[in-house]
Structure 1
């Protein structure tokens, strides 16, 4: 039995801190040997050159066992402490070694995008998503690495192409390397046992010694082994593949069969399993420094709830123990992505609502009915679509079958509106062959609106061409044969996931600031076309002056014009129309991996990052201030009625957006039972309204102001920033101010 987590929690954290505070560890000698190997393998396939990293980790890198933990996962590969945040730019350790040698691809792309990023029209560093990936955990747990090796060898006998042979050889080398690393953990645990007197710590070491002999090489056979496989493989992929593997998996679905089997055998009970779960989950908060960075968060997420492949609702003992561990030990990470539906039991809603009401702002809620349907609409099999996770924040990815690139390049909708008033923003259309022709006159709002959509289509068309061009180089830039082996399709085809080996291969370019854009268009319709208060030219001059030319007109635009979320028939109809038209404009083209581009409104913190060069907007927003968040109404509109917002949502078909659209609801802190019931009802109303993803944040703005002034007295306040949770006092002042300034809704 593993050591008692509750008793040893502080000692566990101290042991982790003693090791992780000195990250990144210097692995220069290892990288120098890798450089020699790379030169010797210059005539081999990219996969085989990448597989040198696996060999180096197995043969040259130290391993570390934490005596306080019953799990094995730490290899000294030179990772920074707060890794798994992004796969790019390349890290200093082995995870970045291969990509560093191919950086000319990234530099060329960055030079192309630079002028558009400088104008806050398009944001992006790299031409593919390197930060939000998942492992095919079902395949890994069921087959073990041994099963992948057997499959690779079978496929090699069919005499595939030289490239496929290189891919299979790399998979085999990677699996054998991880087998060797696990064997070293087993041997080290045996060695440490000789000098360990504490019986509970001896139990931890004994568990590691026995488990590491079997997994992940063999299929997992117990609840504990399944946890070992998930943590070990995820950490190995983050440290070796050069991409941030963000997802710990759909845990209550994955683990339930092992839990039931162990309990039936008398080898496990609820409390023992919960103890193991606490040890498993604490690693994320322990590894990452959650106090010293403006974005003191990890990318790690886990998924609960939802359904299985046959559509059966999941809410079980694993779900309960995960929630209890977070509640009792006040964990901040991994992020909890809670899949919900109208078929889930009342206990699920009330349990999560009670935690949020108590100030534990650690959840995102994902609507199964909408997200599954949106994926089916894109041609994916229903059974596959039912198995989805969220890759970091709220962006969905299908388990085992999908490589989904959807959080790496963003478009500003408000800046596109402003391009009608500021010719410098038309730089993109002047430099790129988009096919868009600027009209001489826009006599009606319908003409203005149609040209807005035409501009979006033309810019999107060109972005698709650019991303497809550079995406074709991903097999050279950073192939991932070992991670690919876990995804259904890659071994069967002999193709890496970066080339389209998975069954599904979509891409999304999320749209930022939809609320600001809608309000700007509504204002243009009213003051220019309906009431003829200003011409387009006069409105443009007013915006260029940041409203200084006529402050009273700004007040009119801000307070008198229709606003998204105010729940009138006209506004709701327009919102439904533009959501649909934007999705149509950004869905359908084929990417370089054979998948399709999918519509997305996942914007992370880009609503703040893409603000500096966005001048005043027609809705009354001042230059340089934040755009609207997710699919929210703007904060400056002051719309604060939850019922109105959700009624507006009913008029929008969110199945148009497989990449999800997040509704953020900030609410006053309410710890009483009525508050818990209200939150549960809000979640159900969100489902009924057809929302996609929901983040609830219960805060007291006055307390936040006190925390900003006296952080030592308020160290434990956890806030939902934008798809991740963080200690409020760890955030930079400008982020704290942004959170305090959000609109707090009411019933």
Structure 2
């Protein structure tokens, strides 16, 4: 719809789908198509690096490159795993949840209307948008209805990628560490059925959609831990707390218990911003007064003033937890 060019494959007219299973099979067929394209492109790039862009200084400190007499980019390393990043699992989960819940289960909206709503970017359909935002099971609330869909999406991605061969005598695996590319992908994506409007960021890491997690941080970690994270090369879960929440010894102990609980449930990585949304908004208005304000972005930290306005807004929009 954005470019007028058809790049996907024919997987059936959505109006003709009689079940969520049919729709999800179409999703998996599209996923297979685009991962094929992605890996073919990756393999071409790998050969370009191997032939035209050797990295001798890196290679001499990577195990086995010297012994093999091969550059790092040509497969000289002991381990030659490549990873494909999963981006926006919260957004796709909540979008599929909206379809399953409202079209196939509740039957309070039909596919024809749904397509119209997306085409119009929700303009003139605010009531339906609020239905998707507030009356739909959402990932991040320890709700198996939505979390089971997350697992379907995750497993489909894993099964499509895991074990495919690269050009360095290694294989592809997946991870869920997309750092800030959820901003870019959102900027070129149309409206989605989680209530997100065209151009807005998609969800980051394995975090829930910004503002969709409404039952506190413990519900978030329970949802995220339902993903089989050991199948990945890493995951990234962000949470934002108000400073008052961590005041005193009790606050610090509560945070430690939360982290330990997440790891015991099988979580891989969790990170925090301890700052209020009001402080971040003030820093946008008067940046010179907040030159030393550092925030956790996605796998790295940076000065808040160094970030783009879009990325600043995305961090502000993350759910602000005030109690455990």
Same fold flag (TM > 0.5)? yes
| Aligned pairs for 1:432-511 within 5 A | 436-440=9-13, 441-511=16-86
User: What is aligned with 1:741?
Assistant: 317
How far apart are 1:564 and its partner, in Å? 0.7
Paired with 1:738 and 1:466, the residues of 2 have a C-alpha distance of: 30
The counterpart of 2:238, out of the listed 664, 671, 681, is 664
Asked if structure 2 preserves the Cα contact closer than 8 Å seen for 1:546 and 1:622, the reply is: yes
State whether structure 2 residue 143 is matched by structure 1 residue 564: no
| Aligned-partner Cα distance in 1 for 2:58–2:140 | 43
2:271 to 695, 718, 726: 695
TM-score, structure 1 length as denominator?
0.41
What SS does the aligned partner of 2:26 have?
helix
Q: Secondary structure at the match of 2:240?
A: strand
Q: Is the 8 A contact 1:580 1:656 kept in 2?
A: no
User: 1:481: how far off?
Assistant: 2.2
2:152 is the alignment partner of 1:577: yes
Q: Is the 8 A contact 1:602 1:661 kept in 2?
A: yes
Distance 1:716 1:473 in 2: 41
Q: Compute the displacement of 1:531 (Å).
A: 2.4
Retained in 1: the 8 A contact 2:190–2:198?
A: yes
2-side partners of 1:477 and 1:691: how far apart? 39
C-alpha contact 2:93 2:146 (8 A) present in aligned 1 = no
State how far apart, in whole Å, the 2-side matches of 1:656 and 1:580 are: 9
Q: Residue 491 of structure 1 aligns to a residue in which SS?
A: helix
Q: Counterpart of 2:206 in 1: which secondary structure?
A: coil
Equivalents in 2 of 1:426, 1:534: separation in Å? Answer: 28
Aligned match of 1:680 in 234, 242, 256?
256
Distance across 2 between alignment mates of 1:627 and 1:732: 16
CA contact (8 A) 1:640 1:743 kept: no
Q: What TM-score do the two structures reach when normalised by structure 2?
A: 0.91
Equivalents in 2 of 1:545, 1:680: separation in Å?
46
Q: CA deviation at 1:693?
A: 1.6
Call closer, same or farther: CA 1:609–1:597 in 2, change over 3 Å.
same
> Once the two structures are superposed, what CA deviation does each residue of 1:109-156 show, in whole Å capped at 9, x if it has no partner?
xxxxxxxxxxxxxxxxxxxxxxxxxxxxxxxxxxxxxxxxxxxxxxxx
1:711 positional shift: 2.9
Q: Structure 1: how far apart are the matches of 2:145 and 2:108?
A: 20
Within 5 Å, give how 1:179-578 maps onto structure 2.
422=1, 427-429=6-8, 436-440=9-13, 441-578=16-153
The aligned counterpart of 1:629 is 204
Deviations 1:183-224 (A, max 9, x none): xxxxxxxxxxxxxxxxxxxxxxxxxxxxxxxxxxxxxxxxxx
Tell me the alpha carbon deviations over residues 535-593 of structure 1, each in whole angstroms, 9 at most, x when there is no partner: 32321111111112322111111110111112123333332232222211221110011
Secondary structure at the aligned position of 2:230 is classed as helix
Cα distance change, pair 424–728 in 1 and its aligned pair in 2 (3 A): closer
Q: Distance in 2 between matches of 1:567 and 1:698?
A: 23
Q: After superposing the two structures, state which structure 1 stretch, 646-655 or 495-504, moved more.
A: 646-655
- Tell me the matched-pair count: 319
Query: Per the alignment, do residues 640 and 702 of structure 1 end up closer, same or farther by CA in structure 2, a change over 3 Å counting?
Result: farther
Q: CA deviation at 1:698?
A: 0.7
Taking the aligned partners of 2:135 and 2:89, their CA distance within structure 1 comes to: 20
Change over 3 Å in CA distance of 1:738–1:648 after alignment to 2: closer
Q: Deviations over 1:668-697 (max 9, x none)?
A: 113422221122112101201211221111
Contact 1:649 1:690 in 2 (8 A): no
Are residues 733 and 473 of structure 1, via their aligned partners in 2, closer, same or farther at CA, if it must alter by over 3 Å?
A: closer
RMSD between superposed Cα atoms in Å? 2.0
After superposing the two structures, state which structure 1 stretch, 445-454 or 719-728, moved more.
719-728
Equivalent residues of 1:485, 1:491 under 8 A apart: yes
Alpha-carbon offset, residue 707 of structure 1:
2.6
Q: 2: distance between equivalents of 1:529 and 1:438?
A: 19
Pair member with larger Rg: 1
Cα distance, 1:654 vs structure 2: 0.5
Separation in structure 1 between the aligned mates of residue 200 and residue 318 of structure 2, nearest angstrom = 13
C-alpha spacing 1:731/1:471, structure 2 compared with 1 (3 Å)? closer
Find out whether 1:641 has 2:216 as its counterpart: yes
**Cα distance 1:699–1:643, how it changes in 2: closer, same or farther (>3 A)?**
same
